[in-house]
Structure 1
Amino acid sequence: MKRTRMGVMAAGVAVVSLCASGALAAAGRESSADMRGVSVLVGGGIEGYTRSLGADIQPGAAYGATVILRPTKVVGLELGYAGASNNFDRSNVAVSDSVRGPDVMRNGGQAVATLGLTAAPVQPYLLAGVGISRYNVRATAAGFQSDTVGNVPLGGGLRLHLGHFTADARINYNVLVDQQFATNLPSDTTTPTSTTGTGGIYTGTVNLGSTF
Protein backbone atom coordinates (compact mmCIF):
# COMPACT_ATOMS: atom_id res chain seq x y z
CA MET A 1 0.00 0.00 0.00
CA LYS A 2 2.80 2.43 0.86
CA ARG A 3 4.58 1.73 -2.44
CA THR A 4 1.31 2.16 -4.30
CA ARG A 5 0.66 5.59 -2.79
CA MET A 6 4.22 6.71 -3.52
CA GLY A 7 3.77 5.49 -7.08
CA VAL A 8 0.55 7.47 -7.45
CA MET A 9 2.27 10.64 -6.22
CA ALA A 10 5.21 10.11 -8.58
CA ALA A 11 2.81 9.55 -11.45
CA GLY A 12 0.99 12.75 -10.56
CA VAL A 13 4.22 14.74 -10.66
CA ALA A 14 5.05 13.19 -14.03
CA VAL A 15 1.64 14.12 -15.43
CA VAL A 16 2.03 17.73 -14.22
CA SER A 17 5.46 17.83 -15.86
CA LEU A 18 4.24 16.51 -19.20
CA CYS A 19 1.15 18.73 -19.30
CA ALA A 20 3.07 21.86 -18.39
CA SER A 21 5.84 21.15 -20.89
CA GLY A 22 3.32 20.42 -23.62
CA ALA A 23 1.36 23.61 -22.99
CA LEU A 24 4.42 25.82 -23.22
CA ALA A 25 5.78 23.98 -26.24
CA ALA A 26 2.46 24.52 -27.99
CA ALA A 27 2.64 28.23 -27.27
CA GLY A 28 5.93 28.27 -29.15
CA ARG A 29 7.32 31.23 -27.22
CA GLU A 30 8.83 32.24 -23.91
CA SER A 31 6.15 32.94 -21.34
CA SER A 32 5.85 36.39 -19.83
CA ALA A 33 5.83 34.65 -16.44
CA ASP A 34 6.68 36.60 -13.32
CA MET A 35 9.50 34.43 -11.96
CA ARG A 36 11.11 36.97 -9.62
CA GLY A 37 9.65 38.47 -6.48
CA VAL A 38 7.63 37.01 -3.62
CA SER A 39 5.39 33.97 -4.08
CA VAL A 40 2.75 32.70 -1.69
CA LEU A 41 1.67 29.06 -2.11
CA VAL A 42 -0.66 26.67 -0.29
CA GLY A 43 -1.12 22.99 -0.97
CA GLY A 44 -1.33 19.43 0.20
CA GLY A 45 -0.48 15.84 -0.58
CA ILE A 46 0.73 12.72 1.20
CA GLU A 47 3.30 12.08 3.92
CA GLY A 48 4.70 8.77 5.11
CA TYR A 49 7.58 7.21 7.01
CA THR A 50 10.35 4.82 5.98
CA ARG A 51 12.10 1.80 7.52
CA SER A 52 11.00 0.91 11.07
CA LEU A 53 8.93 4.06 11.44
CA GLY A 54 7.11 3.18 8.23
CA ALA A 55 6.12 -0.20 9.64
CA ASP A 56 4.44 1.48 12.64
CA ILE A 57 2.95 4.66 11.14
CA GLN A 58 0.67 4.68 8.11
CA PRO A 59 0.89 7.31 5.32
CA GLY A 60 -1.42 10.27 5.86
CA ALA A 61 -2.39 13.72 4.66
CA ALA A 62 0.22 16.48 4.31
CA TYR A 63 -0.54 20.20 4.06
CA GLY A 64 1.29 23.48 4.23
CA ALA A 65 1.87 27.07 3.22
CA THR A 66 5.04 28.65 1.86
CA VAL A 67 6.41 32.14 1.25
CA ILE A 68 9.17 32.21 -1.38
CA LEU A 69 11.61 35.04 -2.13
CA ARG A 70 13.15 34.73 -5.59
CA PRO A 71 15.85 37.35 -6.24
CA THR A 72 16.72 35.64 -9.55
CA LYS A 73 14.98 33.19 -11.87
CA VAL A 74 16.94 30.23 -10.50
CA VAL A 75 17.52 30.96 -6.79
CA GLY A 76 14.75 30.80 -4.21
CA LEU A 77 14.62 31.19 -0.42
CA GLU A 78 11.59 29.72 1.37
CA LEU A 79 9.97 29.95 4.77
CA GLY A 80 7.15 27.51 5.24
CA TYR A 81 4.71 25.78 7.54
CA ALA A 82 4.36 22.03 7.04
CA GLY A 83 1.95 19.73 8.82
CA ALA A 84 0.71 16.16 8.56
CA SER A 85 -1.71 13.76 10.22
CA ASN A 86 -1.04 10.01 10.44
CA ASN A 87 -2.42 6.92 12.14
CA PHE A 88 -0.58 4.04 13.74
CA ASP A 89 -0.64 0.68 11.99
CA ARG A 90 -2.72 -1.17 14.58
CA SER A 91 -1.34 -4.52 13.39
CA ASN A 92 2.15 -3.49 14.59
CA VAL A 93 1.46 -0.96 17.36
CA ALA A 94 -0.55 -1.75 20.48
CA VAL A 95 -2.79 1.26 21.12
CA SER A 96 -4.47 1.31 24.53
CA ASP A 97 -7.13 3.86 23.67
CA SER A 98 -8.82 5.35 20.64
CA VAL A 99 -9.04 9.02 19.77
CA ARG A 100 -11.18 11.02 17.40
CA GLY A 101 -9.04 11.86 14.42
CA PRO A 102 -5.38 11.07 13.68
CA ASP A 103 -3.09 9.29 16.15
CA VAL A 104 -0.07 11.49 15.35
CA MET A 105 -0.14 15.17 14.39
CA ARG A 106 2.96 16.94 13.09
CA ASN A 107 3.25 20.73 12.93
CA GLY A 108 6.48 22.37 11.91
CA GLY A 109 8.36 25.08 10.11
CA GLN A 110 11.28 25.01 7.72
CA ALA A 111 13.72 27.26 5.89
CA VAL A 112 14.68 25.97 2.45
CA ALA A 113 16.90 27.09 -0.42
CA THR A 114 15.98 26.06 -3.97
CA LEU A 115 18.14 26.03 -7.08
CA GLY A 116 16.47 25.95 -10.48
CA LEU A 117 18.05 23.72 -13.12
CA THR A 118 16.82 26.05 -15.87
CA ALA A 119 15.61 29.66 -16.09
CA ALA A 120 12.52 28.67 -18.09
CA PRO A 121 8.91 29.10 -16.90
CA VAL A 122 8.72 25.30 -16.54
CA GLN A 123 11.52 24.83 -14.04
CA PRO A 124 12.83 21.67 -12.36
CA TYR A 125 14.68 22.46 -9.16
CA LEU A 126 16.56 20.98 -6.20
CA LEU A 127 15.97 21.90 -2.56
CA ALA A 128 17.72 21.61 0.81
CA GLY A 129 17.23 23.24 4.18
CA VAL A 130 16.56 22.85 7.89
CA GLY A 131 13.35 22.44 9.86
CA ILE A 132 11.80 21.67 13.21
CA SER A 133 8.53 19.92 14.04
CA ARG A 134 6.36 19.25 17.05
CA TYR A 135 4.95 15.72 17.13
CA ASN A 136 1.73 15.44 19.09
CA VAL A 137 1.10 11.74 19.79
CA ARG A 138 -2.60 11.73 20.60
CA ALA A 139 -3.20 7.99 21.01
CA THR A 140 -1.59 6.09 23.90
CA ALA A 141 0.94 3.68 22.40
CA ALA A 142 3.94 2.07 24.07
CA GLY A 143 7.21 3.61 22.93
CA PHE A 144 5.65 6.73 21.37
CA GLN A 145 5.47 10.15 23.01
CA SER A 146 5.04 13.80 22.03
CA ASP A 147 8.33 15.50 21.26
CA THR A 148 10.06 18.23 19.25
CA VAL A 149 12.28 16.96 16.44
CA GLY A 150 14.68 18.65 14.04
CA ASN A 151 14.90 17.61 10.41
CA VAL A 152 16.84 18.24 7.20
CA PRO A 153 14.61 18.38 4.08
CA LEU A 154 16.22 17.27 0.80
CA GLY A 155 14.49 16.82 -2.53
CA GLY A 156 13.34 18.35 -5.77
CA GLY A 157 10.34 19.43 -7.74
CA LEU A 158 8.90 21.20 -10.74
CA ARG A 159 7.47 24.73 -10.92
CA LEU A 160 5.20 26.19 -13.57
CA HIS A 161 4.96 29.99 -13.98
CA LEU A 162 2.13 31.46 -16.08
CA GLY A 163 1.90 35.21 -15.57
CA HIS A 164 1.41 35.73 -11.83
CA PHE A 165 0.12 32.17 -11.35
CA THR A 166 2.56 29.63 -9.88
CA ALA A 167 2.11 25.84 -9.53
CA ASP A 168 4.61 23.65 -7.72
CA ALA A 169 4.89 19.85 -7.42
CA ARG A 170 7.61 18.50 -5.16
CA ILE A 171 8.87 15.39 -3.43
CA ASN A 172 11.26 15.62 -0.51
CA TYR A 173 12.80 13.35 2.09
CA ASN A 174 13.22 14.62 5.64
CA VAL A 175 16.24 13.28 7.50
CA LEU A 176 15.28 13.29 11.19
CA VAL A 177 17.91 14.70 13.57
CA ASP A 178 16.52 12.59 16.43
CA GLN A 179 13.54 10.29 16.95
CA GLN A 180 12.76 10.50 20.64
CA PHE A 181 9.06 10.55 19.83
CA ALA A 182 9.52 6.86 18.90
CA THR A 183 11.71 5.46 21.66
CA ASN A 184 10.71 1.82 21.08
CA LEU A 185 12.55 1.58 17.76
CA PRO A 186 16.14 0.31 17.44
CA SER A 187 18.95 2.69 16.58
CA ASP A 188 21.13 2.31 13.50
CA THR A 189 23.35 -0.71 14.17
CA THR A 190 26.02 0.60 11.78
CA THR A 191 26.49 3.65 14.02
CA PRO A 192 26.22 2.57 17.68
CA THR A 193 25.69 6.10 19.01
CA SER A 194 23.02 6.98 16.43
CA THR A 195 19.31 7.38 17.17
CA THR A 196 18.49 8.39 13.61
CA GLY A 197 18.68 5.06 11.81
CA THR A 198 15.06 3.98 12.22
CA GLY A 199 13.62 5.93 9.33
CA GLY A 200 12.75 9.29 7.87
CA ILE A 201 9.80 11.06 6.28
CA TYR A 202 8.86 11.31 2.62
CA THR A 203 6.44 14.02 1.51
CA GLY A 204 4.86 14.69 -1.86
CA THR A 205 2.76 17.81 -2.36
CA VAL A 206 1.15 19.95 -5.05
CA ASN A 207 1.04 23.69 -4.27
CA LEU A 208 -0.72 26.58 -5.96
CA GLY A 209 -0.38 30.32 -5.53
CA SER A 210 0.71 33.63 -6.97
CA THR A 211 3.88 35.67 -7.46
CA PHE A 212 3.86 39.38 -6.68
Structure 2
Amino acid sequence: MTRTLFAGAAVLTLWAGSALAQDRKESSADMRGLSVLVGGGVEGYTNQLGQDIDPGVAYGATIVLKPTKVLGLELGYSGAANELDSGVPLARTSGPDVVRNGGQAVATVGLTAAPIQPYLLAGVGLSRYNVRSSALAFQDDTVGNVPLGAGLRVHVGNFTADARLNYNLLFDQEFALAVPDSDINLPGDATFSSGGRYTGTLNFGATW
Protein backbone atom coordinates (compact mmCIF):
# COMPACT_ATOMS: atom_id res chain seq x y z
CA MET A 1 0.00 0.00 0.00
CA THR A 2 2.89 2.37 0.80
CA ARG A 3 4.46 1.64 -2.60
CA THR A 4 1.16 2.47 -4.27
CA LEU A 5 1.02 5.80 -2.46
CA PHE A 6 4.53 6.80 -3.54
CA ALA A 7 3.85 5.63 -7.09
CA GLY A 8 0.69 7.72 -7.16
CA ALA A 9 2.59 10.78 -5.96
CA ALA A 10 5.21 10.26 -8.68
CA VAL A 11 2.53 9.96 -11.37
CA LEU A 12 0.86 13.10 -10.03
CA THR A 13 4.13 15.05 -10.25
CA LEU A 14 4.87 13.86 -13.80
CA TRP A 15 1.34 14.59 -14.95
CA ALA A 16 1.41 18.07 -13.43
CA GLY A 17 4.75 18.85 -15.06
CA SER A 18 3.42 17.83 -18.47
CA ALA A 19 0.25 19.85 -18.06
CA LEU A 20 1.99 22.97 -16.85
CA ALA A 21 4.58 22.78 -19.60
CA GLN A 22 1.76 23.60 -22.02
CA ASP A 23 0.59 26.58 -20.00
CA ARG A 24 3.10 28.28 -17.72
CA LYS A 25 1.01 31.30 -16.87
CA GLU A 26 0.46 31.30 -13.13
CA SER A 27 -2.70 33.38 -13.58
CA SER A 28 -4.40 30.39 -15.23
CA ALA A 29 -4.35 28.43 -11.95
CA ASP A 30 -6.83 29.16 -9.17
CA MET A 31 -4.43 29.19 -6.24
CA ARG A 32 -6.47 31.49 -4.02
CA GLY A 33 -9.94 30.88 -2.68
CA LEU A 34 -11.85 27.94 -1.24
CA SER A 35 -10.90 24.33 -2.05
CA VAL A 36 -12.69 21.09 -1.24
CA LEU A 37 -10.57 17.91 -1.35
CA VAL A 38 -11.30 14.24 -0.73
CA GLY A 39 -8.80 11.38 -0.75
CA GLY A 40 -7.23 8.40 0.89
CA GLY A 41 -4.02 6.54 1.53
CA VAL A 42 -2.26 4.64 4.30
CA GLU A 43 -1.97 5.14 8.07
CA GLY A 44 0.28 3.43 10.59
CA TYR A 45 2.03 3.80 13.93
CA THR A 46 5.58 3.93 15.26
CA ASN A 47 7.50 2.40 18.19
CA GLN A 48 5.55 -0.12 20.30
CA LEU A 49 2.25 1.06 18.83
CA GLY A 50 3.60 0.10 15.41
CA GLN A 51 4.39 -3.39 16.65
CA ASP A 52 0.83 -3.92 17.92
CA ILE A 53 -1.14 -2.12 15.18
CA ASP A 54 -0.69 -2.93 11.48
CA PRO A 55 -0.80 -0.20 8.79
CA GLY A 56 -4.29 0.34 7.41
CA VAL A 57 -6.47 2.40 5.11
CA ALA A 58 -6.77 6.16 5.67
CA TYR A 59 -9.47 8.45 4.23
CA GLY A 60 -10.65 11.99 4.67
CA ALA A 61 -12.08 15.27 3.40
CA THR A 62 -10.66 18.77 3.75
CA ILE A 63 -11.86 22.34 3.28
CA VAL A 64 -8.99 24.71 2.47
CA LEU A 65 -9.08 28.51 2.53
CA LYS A 66 -6.15 30.19 0.76
CA PRO A 67 -6.18 33.98 1.19
CA THR A 68 -2.85 34.14 -0.67
CA LYS A 69 -0.98 31.82 -3.02
CA VAL A 70 1.32 30.78 -0.16
CA LEU A 71 -0.78 30.64 3.03
CA GLY A 72 -3.50 28.03 3.56
CA LEU A 73 -5.90 27.34 6.46
CA GLU A 74 -7.57 23.92 6.65
CA LEU A 75 -10.38 22.19 8.50
CA GLY A 76 -10.50 18.49 7.86
CA TYR A 77 -12.02 15.16 8.76
CA SER A 78 -9.75 12.13 8.80
CA GLY A 79 -10.41 8.48 9.51
CA ALA A 80 -8.61 5.16 9.38
CA ALA A 81 -9.21 1.44 9.87
CA ASN A 82 -6.40 -0.74 11.22
CA GLU A 83 -6.03 -4.35 12.28
CA LEU A 84 -4.16 -5.42 15.38
CA ASP A 85 -1.07 -7.53 14.84
CA SER A 86 -1.64 -11.27 14.98
CA GLY A 87 0.62 -11.45 18.04
CA VAL A 88 -1.77 -9.38 20.16
CA PRO A 89 -3.80 -11.69 22.48
CA LEU A 90 -7.46 -12.11 21.44
CA ALA A 91 -7.05 -9.90 18.37
CA ARG A 92 -9.58 -10.43 15.62
CA THR A 93 -8.54 -12.49 12.63
CA SER A 94 -10.47 -10.39 10.06
CA GLY A 95 -11.97 -6.93 9.76
CA PRO A 96 -10.72 -3.65 11.24
CA ASP A 97 -9.90 -3.91 14.95
CA VAL A 98 -9.31 -0.19 15.53
CA VAL A 99 -11.39 2.48 13.78
CA ARG A 100 -10.33 6.10 14.16
CA ASN A 101 -12.43 9.18 13.38
CA GLY A 102 -11.10 12.66 13.95
CA GLY A 103 -10.82 16.27 12.93
CA GLN A 104 -8.00 18.73 12.66
CA ALA A 105 -7.19 22.39 12.02
CA VAL A 106 -4.01 22.91 10.03
CA ALA A 107 -2.02 25.81 8.60
CA THR A 108 0.06 25.31 5.45
CA VAL A 109 2.87 27.49 4.14
CA GLY A 110 3.91 27.12 0.50
CA LEU A 111 7.62 27.11 -0.33
CA THR A 112 6.86 28.72 -3.70
CA ALA A 113 3.98 30.67 -5.26
CA ALA A 114 3.94 28.47 -8.38
CA PRO A 115 1.08 26.15 -9.45
CA ILE A 116 3.29 23.19 -8.46
CA GLN A 117 3.76 24.04 -4.80
CA PRO A 118 5.63 22.12 -2.10
CA TYR A 119 4.49 23.13 1.37
CA LEU A 120 4.89 22.54 5.10
CA LEU A 121 2.02 21.99 7.54
CA ALA A 122 1.34 22.09 11.28
CA GLY A 123 -1.77 22.16 13.41
CA VAL A 124 -3.81 20.46 16.11
CA GLY A 125 -6.29 17.59 16.01
CA LEU A 126 -8.54 15.33 18.05
CA SER A 127 -9.46 11.69 17.32
CA ARG A 128 -11.86 9.13 18.72
CA TYR A 129 -10.57 5.55 18.74
CA ASN A 130 -13.17 2.78 18.62
CA VAL A 131 -11.63 -0.60 19.47
CA ARG A 132 -13.85 -3.28 17.90
CA SER A 133 -11.63 -6.20 18.91
CA SER A 134 -11.81 -8.07 22.20
CA ALA A 135 -8.02 -7.78 22.53
CA LEU A 136 -6.76 -7.30 26.06
CA ALA A 137 -5.62 -3.82 27.15
CA PHE A 138 -7.12 -1.99 24.13
CA GLN A 139 -10.05 0.32 24.75
CA ASP A 140 -12.08 3.18 23.28
CA ASP A 141 -10.48 6.57 23.91
CA THR A 142 -10.24 10.17 22.73
CA VAL A 143 -6.71 11.36 21.92
CA GLY A 144 -5.34 14.77 20.96
CA ASN A 145 -2.54 15.11 18.42
CA VAL A 146 -0.26 17.62 16.71
CA PRO A 147 0.13 16.96 12.95
CA LEU A 148 3.43 17.99 11.36
CA GLY A 149 4.31 17.29 7.76
CA ALA A 150 4.92 18.28 4.17
CA GLY A 151 3.20 17.90 0.84
CA LEU A 152 2.98 18.81 -2.82
CA ARG A 153 -0.06 20.66 -4.13
CA VAL A 154 -0.81 21.07 -7.84
CA HIS A 155 -3.20 23.64 -9.34
CA VAL A 156 -4.36 23.37 -12.96
CA GLY A 157 -7.23 25.73 -13.68
CA ASN A 158 -9.73 25.13 -10.87
CA PHE A 159 -8.58 21.52 -10.43
CA THR A 160 -6.47 20.82 -7.34
CA ALA A 161 -4.46 17.72 -6.45
CA ASP A 162 -2.52 17.17 -3.25
CA ALA A 163 -0.05 14.56 -2.00
CA ARG A 164 1.04 14.78 1.63
CA LEU A 165 2.81 12.90 4.39
CA ASN A 166 2.40 13.90 8.02
CA TYR A 167 3.46 12.59 11.40
CA ASN A 168 1.11 13.03 14.34
CA LEU A 169 2.51 13.53 17.83
CA LEU A 170 0.01 11.90 20.23
CA PHE A 171 -0.74 13.49 23.60
CA ASP A 172 -1.28 10.00 25.03
CA GLN A 173 -1.77 6.39 23.95
CA GLU A 174 -4.25 5.23 26.57
CA PHE A 175 -6.34 3.44 23.95
CA ALA A 176 -3.48 0.90 23.99
CA LEU A 177 -2.87 0.17 27.66
CA ALA A 178 -0.58 -2.75 26.83
CA VAL A 179 2.02 -0.29 25.58
CA PRO A 180 4.44 0.76 28.35
CA ASP A 181 3.94 4.26 29.69
CA SER A 182 6.92 6.11 28.23
CA ASP A 183 5.70 9.65 27.68
CA ILE A 184 8.15 12.34 26.68
CA ASN A 185 8.13 15.13 29.28
CA LEU A 186 8.07 18.67 27.94
CA PRO A 187 8.31 22.07 29.67
CA GLY A 188 5.10 23.28 31.30
CA ASP A 189 3.85 19.86 32.44
CA ALA A 190 3.06 18.86 28.85
CA THR A 191 3.69 15.36 27.57
CA PHE A 192 3.65 13.54 24.26
CA SER A 193 3.41 9.80 23.75
CA SER A 194 6.62 8.18 22.51
CA GLY A 195 4.52 6.37 19.91
CA GLY A 196 3.14 8.39 17.00
CA ARG A 197 0.90 8.04 13.96
CA TYR A 198 1.94 8.61 10.35
CA THR A 199 -0.41 9.22 7.45
CA GLY A 200 0.22 9.51 3.70
CA THR A 201 -2.61 10.49 1.37
CA LEU A 202 -3.48 11.54 -2.16
CA ASN A 203 -6.30 14.08 -2.40
CA PHE A 204 -8.24 15.57 -5.31
CA GLY A 205 -10.78 18.39 -5.59
CA ALA A 206 -11.53 21.85 -6.91
CA THR A 207 -10.85 25.48 -6.02
CA TRP A 208 -13.29 28.36 -6.39
1:95 aligns with 2:90: yes
**Is residue 188–residue 194 contact of structure 1 (8 Å, CA) maintained in 2?**
no
Question: In the alignment, is the contact (CA less than 8 A) between 2:183 and 2:194 conserved in 1?
Answer: no
Could you tell me the percent identity over the aligned residues?
64
Q: Which runs of 5+ in 1 are unaligned?
A: none
**Is the 2:41–2:57 Cα contact (8 Å) retained in structure 1?**
yes
- Which is richer in strand? 2
1:139 equivalent to 2:133? Answer yes
8 A Cα contact 2:48 2:179, kept in partner: yes
CA contact (8 A) 1:62 1:84 kept: yes
Provide TM-score, normalisation by structure 1. 0.89
Aligned pair partner of 1:178 in 162, 172, 175: 172
Q: Secondary structure at the match of 1:58?
A: coil
The alignment status of 1:38 with 2:34, answered yes or no, reads yes
SS in 2 for 1:89: coil
Instruction: Name stretches of at least 5 consecutive residues in structure 2 with no aligned partner.
Output: none
Name the CA distance, whole Å, in 1 between partners of 2:190 and 2:33: 41
Q: Does 1:74 align with 2:70?
A: yes
Query: What's 2:162 paired with?
Result: 168
Aligned to 1:188: 182
SS in 1 for 2:26: coil
CA positional deviation for 1:184:
1.1
Aligned length: 206
1:126-185 CA distances to partner (integer Å, 9 max, x unpaired)?
Answer: 000000000000001111110000000000101111111111111101110111101111
CA RMSD of aligned residues (A): 2.2
Q: Which residue of 2 aligns with 1:118?
A: 112
1:52 to 48, 54, 59: 48
The answer to whether the 8 Å contact 2:62/2:77 transfers is yes
The two structures have a TM-score, normalised by structure 2, of 0.90
